Amino acid sequence: MTATATTGAMARADGQEPTLKIEGLHVMVTSREIIHGIDLAVNKGEVHAILGPNGSGKSTLAYALMGRPGYDVTAGSVSLKGQDLLEMEVDERARAGLFLCFQYPTSIPGVHMGNFLRLSVKSRFGDEAIKTFRTELTEKLRLLKMDRSYMNRYLNEGFSGGEKKKAEILQMAMLKPEIAIMDETDSGLDVDAFKVVADGVNAMRGPDVGFVVITHYNRMLEYIKPDFVHILIGGKIAKEGGPELALEVDQHGYGPIIAEMRARGEQVELPEEGGATYAREEPVERHDDPFRAHGRTSL
């Protein structure tokens, strides 16, 4: 752990427990440790940005929090609103108010978007919520400039990259999480779609929700001003600070930060040489996905 690098959000002025509290988290994927001890605290009302080179473990962190099979927490603790998150099933985490906007959302043929949304709102808020479902949906669709006909389409099936991301934001807006993690929701969007998505997030911003925004681009952080910035390199938090840190990375890349880490005598694992590039535009299909590794075939 890097005591020097831990700052800011951990301590709250009012001394209360943060909404999401991560302590000493280690995560293994396919018998390799990817996250090597992370501390992070997120309160409602705050926006945290996580920046880091490709392969530094940003998605792994997000998946571990959302309980994805194959992402095993081997040490550390995570609490959500004081409850042990790691003890909860995936669906319980969602109903407790955690939400993950996936970097690569799953397509599910045969399941209609509208029906699915209705069921998820119902499981989070109960039968009562169905009464206001339609009006709320209409409002969110308008906000995200989405046509109602999306509701009759199969979930993410045949959606363009931009449509998938908008659909993720729509789900987030309907499920009103208390902690929302957005994994590169800005990647692969054209300028217009990017604006729509960013406006959607800004409209949700407020005292009731804390955001963890994983991104490679400063353009996202110009729209959604973060309160805290964390740099994740080689599965560790390398540096933390305010919005100015994002600018620093934008101008100088991760090189200086990696050098600082090494100067402190830390081991820094980089997935590949030149792994410090951070402007990959197109999402790359994963072939080392644990679901596939287990020989599951999709129908």
Partner 1 sequence: MATLIRSSARGSLPGALTTPGLSEATVQAMGDWRGDPDWVRDLRLRGWQAWESIPMPTMSTEGWRRSDLRWLALDAIAPAAPPAPVVEGLEQLPTELRGQLQTDFEEGGLIVQHDGTAAYATLQEALRRQGVIFTDLHTALHEHRDLLARHFMQLLPPRWRPGMPSNAGKFEALNAALFNGGAFVYVPPDTTVTLPLRSVLWAADTRAGFFPRSLIVVDRGARLVYVDEYRSAAGGRGEPLTFGSGAVEVYVKDGARLDYVTVQEWSMTTGAFLTQRATLGNDAYINWVLVGLGGQYSRSTADILLQGKGTKADLLGLAFGEGTQVFDVHTLQAHMSPFTDSDQLYKTGLRDRARVAYEGLIDIQKGSYGSNGFQANKNLLLDDTAKADSIPMLEINDNDVRCTHSSSVGPVDEESVYYLMSRGLPRAVAERILVQGFFEPVIERIGVEALRDRIRGAIDRKIGDR
Ligand X SMILES: Nc1ncnc2c1ncn2[C@@H]1O[C@H](COP(=O)(O)OP(=O)(O)OP(=O)(O)O)[C@@H](O)[C@H]1O
Among the listed residues 20, 102, 183, 212, the single contact to partner 1 using CB under 8 A:
102
CB 253 within 8 A of CB 231: no
Q: Which is nearer to ligand X, 39 or 184 (CB)?
A: 184
Q: Name the token pair of 177.
A: 């999480």
**How many residues sit close enough to Mg ion to count as binding (CB under 5 A)?**
3
* 84 vs 178: CA distance, rounded Å: 16
Q: Which is nearer to Mg ion, 56 or 171 (CB)?
A: 56
Q: What is the DSSP letter of 17?
A: P
> In the 8-state DSSP scheme, what is residue 298?
-
Of 52 and 210, CB closest to ligand X: 52
Q: Interaction with Mg ion in 101-120: which residues (CB under 5 A)?
A: 103
Question: Does position 94 bind partner 1 by CB under 8 A?
Answer: yes
Q: Which residues of 102-133 are buried (b: 16+ CB within 10 A; e: fewer)?
A: bbbbeeeeeebbbebbbebbeebbeeebeeeb
Q: Binding of Mg ion at residue 60 (CB under 5 A)?
A: no
Least Cβ distance, residue 79 to Mg ion (angstroms): 24
Shortest reach from residue 182's CB to partner 1, in Å: 14
Q: Which two tokens stand for residue 28?
A: 């293994």
- SS3 state at 149: helix
Residue 30 binding result from ligand X, Mg ion, partner 1, none, given CB thresholds of 5 to 8 Å by partner type = ligand X
Is there binding between residue 79 and Mg ion (CB under 5 A)? no
Phi, psi of 224 (to 5 degrees): -110, 90
Interaction partner, residue 120 (ligand X, partner 1, Mg ion, none; CB < 5-8 Å by kind) = partner 1
The residue within the footprint of Mg ion, chosen from 19, 43, 56, 59 (CB under 5 A), is 59
The token pair that represents 248 in the structure block? 């620093």
Is 120 a binder of partner 1 (CB under 8 A)?
yes
Q: 188 and 165 in contact (C-beta within 8 Å)?
A: yes
Residue closer to partner 1 by CB (options 112, 219) is: 112
Q: Are 201 and 182 in contact (CB under 8 A)?
A: yes
* Distance in Å, CB of 114 to Mg ion, minimum: 29
The size of the interface with partner 1 (CB under 8 A), counted in residues, is: 35
Which of 58, 38, 35, 44 lies closest to 12, judged by CA?
44
Name the H helices within the chain: 58-65, 90-95, 113-125, 133-143, 161-175, 191-204, 218-223, 244-252, 255-263, 290-293
Q: Out of 21, 36, 58, 124, which residue is the one contacting partner 1 (CB under 8 A)?
A: 124
Which two tokens mark 16? Answer: 């209360």
From partner 1, Mg ion, ligand X, none, interface partner of 6 (C-beta below 5 to 8 A by class)? none
Check residue 277 for interaction with partner 1 (CB under 8 A). no
Q: Diameter of the chain by CA atoms?
A: 59
Binding partner 1 (rule: CB under 8 A), the pick from 171, 185, 187, 215 is 171
- Say if CB 230 and CB 240 are below 8 A apart: yes
- Taking CB within 5 to 8 Å according to partner kind, which of Mg ion, ligand X, partner 1, none is near residue 119? partner 1
Binding site for Mg ion (CB under 5 A): 58-59, 103
Binding site for partner 1 (CB under 8 A): 66-69, 89-91, 93-95, 100, 102, 105-106, 108-112, 115-116, 119-120, 123-124, 154, 171, 175, 289, 291, 294, 296-299
